[in-house]
Chains A and B, each alone.
Chain A
């Protein structure tokens, strides 16, 4: 008969044991695909502005990523798995970006890729990092994404690097002393402003004047008045293409003779379009190679990949950046092996050393989540962009 525990006590013990057991039975959802990796595919998510004043950015980032993914899929996928991209529109609004990212992360994507903007990333990145989801190739050079963010994989150079380059050229090539800043009244604009201030401070200077405008408006005229007061030789614009173009047009209308230097985020091709004929001499710093320069292998490859996705698309800076982000994801997945996990993916990049995407080399390390430090200069002349080595009047 063994020991004589009361029947009730035994029943309780059994039911407790069952409850504990039940807790360990894996849920049905967990079975279907771990970390967005399915037997035949790997799913990435993208939240970007597909509508609104910054929609050109989101659309082209998406296009570039798709070009890269489709290119890989045409080659049989990565280790036999096809890459899929789920895209959501956030209209360049942080709330929507947060909501989208939350939903994408909850739906179990492998990583978030190609986010557009600093305020949006500022809202979305903590969601991704909090769920240990890689945050790959955001279209922003904000500094906070480059500091102790182990789940963030930046491709491009930072805004600080861009603004440093701008100030270096303006004060070096042109020997200008009077530099003003137009910045969008949000974290993006402030990031750029602070980059400019730092670069100037390094040279014992400060902006002669600053002006700001509300995001998603073209209400830049009061800012123009503010800036004009400083009689600047050059105006660094940390903004979106439409207000930037509006600002440049009105500045020229008011006869302000200054060099307009835009940061890469402005959306170069859109800016070109907005400016129309009035774009001559407008400088834009870039973080990717010149998209029309097919002599760079990765650019040539980008051209064919882009054509395969959208035959009519014109290769642009943003779509090239998207393509580079997509290519980086593909390379990292290749390195992560047959059974990739998010951690393997990130570790593969950290340990890979230099990854040559074809004339564009990225390199990651233990405390370095930014692949490229390169800043390229372009100028608008005759209705198109030209790569330049230095500034000149």
Chain B
């Protein structure tokens, strides 16, 4: 965190240095020349904004590309395609135009088609231009075909227009023929009605008198009647044939029709000659008109129909020709549309790919931007600011609860740092104030507490003494068996030498009595040995007595020696159990170790005959003496060695009948010039790692029931410390335990006083591996 802060700050400063002078100064003024909170937030937000802008610019770039492609499609391919479609549509319109023209019924229809054709032709030319501009050279090939088609259409159109004129003319002719026929028919009906009535009744007018029969049946009247009848029939034939001709499709038959109509008109003419002039005059104009309609002028029925048939033939021919052009055109246009469609599809699919790419890119950019925002928010605000601010707030809250021991972390160089610094200053002040308050308060409390404590301390001291005494008694108990064994040896010596001395004295006394008997008879009674011998057998007796006395003397010496030894043992025991502190004196470490090793061994043997252990001593002859209290050190040795022996015994028991295990305890000393190192190692059960640190705690014990007080190692540790020494322990569970004491030759002044609480810290034991 600090390294990061530092880097960020350095980067900021680097950035500041590189700003233009004026701007740099202003930024420095604004930011206070450091990477402050505002700058951090700005940079954090700026980072987010930068990323967002980056994403936006990327998107913008993509959009521009897309737009370009889209424009390309819109401005190039789409118009081309649309134009191609238009060409196709216009073409098909044109193609359809010819049959439509031919099928047109009225000039109105024709004009409609004509307008369509003109419009489509215009569109076609326009679109062909578009397509050609778009680079579709196929468009060009449509032009001549379209031109040819349009020309064909023009011709058809003209032909159809002419045909329509003819048809219109024919229709007019038909109407007129009918009208004339009707007109003639009405006249004829009246004339016939009148003539027949006259022949029958001799009456012409209502007011007339009836004519005589001769007059009614005169030749002229009969001719008139016949003429009217003939006229009627021929006129009907002529009109019928003329109508037939209008619908005659065969030009050859049309001519035949014409012949027959001609004949009919001849008959009409003949009939007219029979008809009375007045009636003939009434019928004449109608006949003339009918003749004109027949063929009197260029626009008669037959001429017109002939022309119409010719036009129909011509239209059909043109239509056929156009159909050929149409087929070619359709093929070309299909080609064109296919091309345009392919091009447009390719472009569209390209744009689609681009769009998808853009979509993914924008998605990616968004993900990155969001990710960056999250990272910025989390890393910067979360970790850099919020965490620090939270730390600060935690610290403040704790301070507010009165915990002024809080460590205020002062890192970085920004407002938070300022706040932290200020908080630290505040805390210092608060601590001072609190202290002042406390001192006063405590002074009173301490007074009371001191009194309380003193009595507690007294109790404690008494209790402690009690406990220590108990421990001493306990260790004494442990010693007792060993001591008993140790005392038994001198006592045996004493007893044996005393018994030997008794025998020697008895021998001596007998010798003396013998001497006295010989001599008492001399009168001396024993108190002076040898007198008799001296007297009687002086030479031999003296020698013997001297010999016995010398033996006695030796015996007594031995008894004294062993008695002293026993005494010493007892004294040691007493000293061991004595409560007052002993005197510092030079202590022979090797001697003391050896002695207490024996005591420990025998003590344990005495308690359990099956117990056995091989104790190997490796004493440095130069170990010599250290300044110390023998009684205390002996307790340490005894304690540690006993523990070692018990550990091996425990392992032996746990190992069951495993004969491979050989219980061993190694005791070694080493001269280290100004100190002596004592190592006591066993291959017992070892000490589990989790309790290794607790073994020096008072009352900690692994031993069941009354086997231990739990104070042994605690006190031992204390003792070593009182001697200015160091006490190490090292153990591997199931393998070994090694205690090492380094005892200085001279106890330095101010050596560690006994701590009231030896559990304070395990660190004091130094290296524990």
Residues of chain A at the chain B interface (Cβ within 8 Å) = 1, 4, 6-8, 11, 15, 213-214, 216-222, 224-225, 249-250, 253-254
Can you list 8 residue pairs at the A/B interface with Cβ under 8 Å?
A1-B355, A1-B356, A4-B349, A7-B347, A15-B85, A219-B192, A220-B193, A253-B203
**B177-206 interface code vs A (CB 8 A; 1 in, 0 out):** 000000001100110111011001101001
Q: Is the CB of A7 within 8 A of B81?
A: yes
Q: Is the CB of A7 within 8 A of B344?
A: yes
With contacts A6-B345, A214-B189 taken as known, whether A221 is within 8 angstroms of B197 at the C-beta atoms is: yes
Q: Which residue of A lies closest to B203 (CB)?
A: A253
Q: Is B352 positioned at the interface, with any CB of A under 8 Å from its CB?
A: yes
Closest 6 CB pairs of A and B: A219-B193, A221-B197, A8-B341, A219-B189, A7-B348, A7-B344
B508 to chain A, nearest CB (A): 138
Q: Which residue of the partner chain, among B78, B186, B197, contacts A216 with CB atoms under 8 Å?
A: B186
Residue of B81, B189, B337, B344 with most chain A CB atoms under a 10 A cut-off = B189
A218 to B190, CA, bound (A): 7
With contacts A4-B349, A6-B345, A8-B345 taken as known, whether A217 is within 8 angstroms of B82 at the C-beta atoms is: no
Do most interface residues of chain B lie in helix, strand or loop, or is the interface mixed?
Answer: helix
A253 to B194, CA, bound (A): 14
Q: Which residue of A lies closest to B356 (CB)?
A: A1
A190 to B116, CA, bound (A): 51
In the complex, which residues of chain B have a beta carbon less than 8 angstroms from the beta carbon of A15? 85
Q: Is the CB of B345 within 8 A of A221?
A: no
B82 to chain A, nearest CB (A): 7
Q: Is the CB of A11 within 8 A of B82?
A: yes
Residues of chain B at the chain A interface (Cβ within 8 Å) = 77-78, 81-82, 85, 185-186, 189-190, 192-194, 196-197, 200-201, 203, 206, 337, 340-341, 344-345, 347-349, 352, 355-356, 359
A99 to chain B, nearest CB (A): 11
Q: Which residue of B lies closest to A216 (CB)?
A: B186
In the complex, which residues of chain B have a beta carbon less than 8 angstroms from the beta carbon of A253? 203, 206
In the complex, which residues of chain B have a beta carbon less than 8 angstroms from the beta carbon of A6? 341, 345, 348
In the complex, which residues of chain A have a beta carbon less than 8 angstroms from the beta carbon of B77? 7
A4 to B351, CA, bound (A): 11
Q: Is the CB of B85 within 8 A of A221?
A: no
Q: Is the CB of B193 within 8 A of A221?
A: yes
Q: Is the CB of A214 within 8 A of B185?
A: yes
Residue of A8, A213, A218, A253 with most chain B CB atoms under a 10 A cut-off = A8
Q: Which residue of B lies closest to A250 (CB)?
A: B206
Q: Which residue of A lies closest to B359 (CB)?
A: A1
A188 to B340, CA, bound (A): 69
A87 to B306, CA, bound (A): 40
Q: Which residue of the partner chain, among B186, B341, B359, contacts A217 with CB atoms under 8 Å?
A: B186
Q: Is the CB of B85 within 8 A of A11?
A: yes
Q: Is the CB of B352 within 8 A of A217?
A: no
Q: Which residue of the partner chain, among B82, B200, B344, contacts A225 with CB atoms under 8 Å?
A: B200
Q: Is the CB of A225 within 8 A of B355?
A: no
With contacts A221-B196, A225-B197 taken as known, whether A4 is within 8 angstroms of B352 at the C-beta atoms is: yes
B179 to chain A, nearest CB (A): 10
Q: Is the CB of B344 within 8 A of A1?
A: no
B340 to chain A, nearest CB (A): 8
A310 to chain B, nearest CB (A): 31
In the complex, which residues of chain B have a beta carbon less than 8 angstroms from the beta carbon of A1? 352, 355-356, 359
A7 to B344, CA, bound (A): 7
In the complex, which residues of chain B have a beta carbon less than 8 angstroms from the beta carbon of A217? 186, 189-190, 193
Q: Is the CB of A224 within 8 A of B189?
A: no
In the complex, which residues of chain B have a beta carbon less than 8 angstroms from the beta carbon of A224? 197
In the complex, which residues of chain A have a beta carbon less than 8 angstroms from the beta carbon of B196? 221-222, 225
A129 to B341, CA, bound (A): 52
B53 to chain A, nearest CB (A): 27
In the complex, which residues of chain B have a beta carbon less than 8 angstroms from the beta carbon of A214? 185-186, 189
In the complex, which residues of chain A have a beta carbon less than 8 angstroms from the beta carbon of B349? 4
A1 to chain B, nearest CB (A): 6
With contacts A6-B341, A225-B197 taken as known, whether A11 is within 8 angstroms of B189 at the C-beta atoms is: no
With contacts A222-B196, A225-B197 taken as known, whether A8 is within 8 angstroms of B186 at the C-beta atoms is: no
A129 to B81, CA, bound (A): 50
Q: Which residue of A lies closest to B353 (CB)?
A: A1
Q: Is the CB of A8 within 8 A of B190?
A: no
A220 to chain B, nearest CB (A): 7
In the complex, which residues of chain B have a beta carbon less than 8 angstroms from the beta carbon of A250? 197, 206
In the complex, which residues of chain B have a beta carbon less than 8 angstroms from the beta carbon of A213? 189, 193
Q: Is the CB of B344 within 8 A of A8?
A: yes
In the complex, which residues of chain B have a beta carbon less than 8 angstroms from the beta carbon of A221? 193-194, 196-197
In the complex, which residues of chain A have a beta carbon less than 8 angstroms from the beta carbon of B78? 7
A217 to B78, CA, bound (A): 74
Q: Is the CB of B189 within 8 A of A7?
A: no
Residue of B77, B196, B197, B355 with most chain A CB atoms under a 10 A cut-off = B197
Q: Is the CB of B201 within 8 A of A254?
A: yes
A149 to B345, CA, bound (A): 61
In the complex, which residues of chain A have a beta carbon less than 8 angstroms from the beta carbon of B190? 217-219
A7 to B203, CA, bound (A): 93
In the complex, which residues of chain A have a beta carbon less than 8 angstroms from the beta carbon of B186? 214, 216-217
A254 to B203, CA, bound (A): 9
Q: Which residue of B lies closest to A185 (CB)?
A: B189
A15 to B82, CA, bound (A): 11
In the complex, which residues of chain A have a beta carbon less than 8 angstroms from the beta carbon of B185? 214
Q: Which residue of B lies closest to A225 (CB)?
A: B200
A282 to B352, CA, bound (A): 97
Q: Is the CB of A11 within 8 A of B355?
A: no
Q: Which residue of A lies closest to B200 (CB)?
A: A225
A253 to B209, CA, bound (A): 10
Q: Which residue of B lies closest to A219 (CB)?
A: B193
Q: Which residue of A lies closest to B82 (CB)?
A: A11
A45 to B345, CA, bound (A): 59
Q: Is the CB of A11 within 8 A of B81?
A: yes
In the complex, which residues of chain B have a beta carbon less than 8 angstroms from the beta carbon of A11? 81-82, 85
17 further A-B pairs in the complex, CB-CB below 8 A; given A7-B348, A222-B197, A225-B201: A1-B352, A1-B355, A7-B341, A7-B345, A8-B337, A8-B341, A11-B85, A213-B189, A213-B193, A217-B186, A218-B190, A219-B189, A219-B190, A221-B193, A222-B193, A225-B197, A225-B200
A155 to B102, CA, bound (A): 48
In the complex, which residues of chain B have a beta carbon less than 8 angstroms from the beta carbon of A8? 81, 337, 340-341, 344-345
A8 to B349, CA, bound (A): 12
A164 to B140, CA, bound (A): 82
A222 to B195, CA, bound (A): 9
A42 to chain B, nearest CB (A): 29
B766 to chain A, nearest CB (A): 76
In the complex, which residues of chain A have a beta carbon less than 8 angstroms from the beta carbon of B82? 11
In the complex, which residues of chain B have a beta carbon less than 8 angstroms from the beta carbon of A254? 201, 203
Q: Which residue of A lies closest to B78 (CB)?
A: A7
In the complex, which residues of chain A have a beta carbon less than 8 angstroms from the beta carbon of B189? 213-214, 217, 219
A214 to B340, CA, bound (A): 72
Q: Which residue of A lies closest to B186 (CB)?
A: A217
A157 to B348, CA, bound (A): 77
Q: Which residue of A lies closest to B188 (CB)?
A: A219
In the complex, which residues of chain B have a beta carbon less than 8 angstroms from the beta carbon of A222? 192-193, 196-197
In the complex, which residues of chain A have a beta carbon less than 8 angstroms from the beta carbon of B200? 225
B230 to chain A, nearest CB (A): 18
In the complex, which residues of chain A have a beta carbon less than 8 angstroms from the beta carbon of B337? 8
B74 to chain A, nearest CB (A): 11
B236 to chain A, nearest CB (A): 13
Residue of B77, B82, B193, B348 with most chain A CB atoms under a 10 A cut-off = B193
In the complex, which residues of chain A have a beta carbon less than 8 angstroms from the beta carbon of B348? 6-7
A1 to B348, CA, bound (A): 11
A221 to B202, CA, bound (A): 12
Q: Which residue of A lies closest to B185 (CB)?
A: A214
A225 to B196, CA, bound (A): 9
A15 to B344, CA, bound (A): 17
A217 to B183, CA, bound (A): 10
A238 to chain B, nearest CB (A): 18
A217 to B187, CA, bound (A): 8
B765 to chain A, nearest CB (A): 76
A249 to B78, CA, bound (A): 88
